[in-house]
Amino acid sequence: MEKITVELTKNPKQKPVGDLPFGKIFTDHMFVMEYEAGKGWFNPRIVPYGPFSMDPAGVVLHYGQEIFEGLKAYRSPNGEIRLFRPEQNYMRMNKSCERLSIPLLDVDFCVEATKQLVELDKDWVPSTPDSSLYIRPFIFANDVGLGVHAAKNYIFCIILAPSGPYYPEGLDPVKIMIEDEDVRAVRGGMGYAKTGGNYAASLRAGERALEKGYSQVLWLDGVERKYIEEVGAMNVFFKINGVIVTPVLQGSILDGITRKSCIQLLRHWGYTVEERLLSVDELMGAAADGTLEEAFGSGTAAVISPIGVLAYGDQVCQINNGDIGEVSQKLYDGLTAIQWGKAEDPFGWSVKVCD
């Protein structure tokens, strides 16, 4: 790969003070690289943050050939900046690329580009509690024309957003509605890929849930509408009768990096974790008879998000009296301690960027 060139901004922006929103403020620089069929990826560069110009017939506007990733840089108590399992994000990005016929990238090069960009904008990494620098790599087709086919030109870009918690509730339990009308993804579709279409498909149900006072939607499988899948921006876990259950990966949900880290941590601590099919009837039955002890979501943006209320049709169940459960709290503490470089990292997940 070519060397990454750097053009520094001539107009540094003012850095935010106080509470940070999620994903609304962006740093001074971004990473950009292009792809052309026959030539490969070229011209990797860090440039001042700014808009792309786009032709109205740009294919991504019409057919949605795009994918993205999400990871974070954390400022540890000794001032170091650290990433959490960044190679996992770029390995997953390649799986999304493959699904959407987008050319693959070199994982090590992407991690290196991320480190260089974060290091350049390191003064933007917040040090306030529960805040971090959200990193958004994405790729979009850059051909012009209305024919439906895989593009020959692409842009890969990484932008950085100093951010606070994704949910305004923070660690307070969220209310989730199980969706029985719309479906988000089916096996053989794009559910396992991180692509805009999956999120677009989720918006209508999300709006309906908000109107009814719920934060997000919990999806059922798209064929039988029977099995629990995932929430809009996180994977889900349930503690039923002492055992931790999470939906098995079958191609219709995201292979979450927080999910796999939670499974590894929980097993390391001696919990039994089952990755299996979990029907909504089993779940709501457990909620009704009191064997559903805890429920929580996991995600980069959401971290560990306890679920306090689950609604399915007319059935509304409170979980653990609407309080954060013991396992959710332990996972939140254990995971964030590793992410922020505050605790020993027995798995080698946390990667140093710079001091």
Q: Is 183 in the site for ligand PLP (CB under 6 A)?
A: no
Residue 309 and residue 173 in contact, taking contact as beta carbons nearer than 8 Å: yes
Q: Is 300 in the site for ligand COI (CB under 6 A)?
A: yes
What phi, psi does 103 have (nearest 5°)? -60, 145
Choices 1-9, 241-249, 278-286, 296-304 (CB under 6 A): range interacting with ligand COI: 296-304
Residue 166 and residue 151 in contact, taking contact as beta carbons nearer than 8 Å: no
Annotate each residue in 204-243 with x if it binds ligand COI (CB under 6 A) or - if it does not, as one string. Answer: -----------------------------x----------
CA distance 12 to 28: 6
82 binds, among ligand PLP, ligand COI, none (CB under 5 to 8 A by kind): none
230 binds, among ligand COI, ligand PLP, none (CB under 5 to 8 A by kind): ligand PLP
Structure tokens at 86: 């960044």
Residue type, 51: P
Q: Which is nearer to ligand COI, 174 or 284 (by Cβ)?
A: 174
Q: Which helix (H) or strand (E) holds 268?
A: helix 257-268
Annotate each residue in 13-52 with x if it binds ligand COI (CB under 6 A) or - if it does not, as one string. Answer: ----------------------------------------
Alpha-helical segments (H) within 165-256:
196-200, 203-211
Q: Which of residues 283-342 bind ligand PLP (CB under 6 A)?
A: 298-300
Tell me the residue number closest to ligand COI, measured at CB: 70
Q: Is 301 in the site for ligand COI (CB under 6 A)?
A: yes
CA distance 302 to 288: 26
Q: Is 202 in the site for ligand COI (CB under 6 A)?
A: no
CA distance 164 to 335: 17
Concatenated DSSP letters for 40-82?
Answer: EEEEEEEEE--PPP--TTBHHHHH--EEE--EEEEE-TTS-EE
List contacts with ligand COI (CB under 6 A).
70, 233, 299-301
Which residue ranges make up the site for ligand PLP (CB under 6 A)?
A: 70, 230, 233-235, 254, 256-259, 298-300
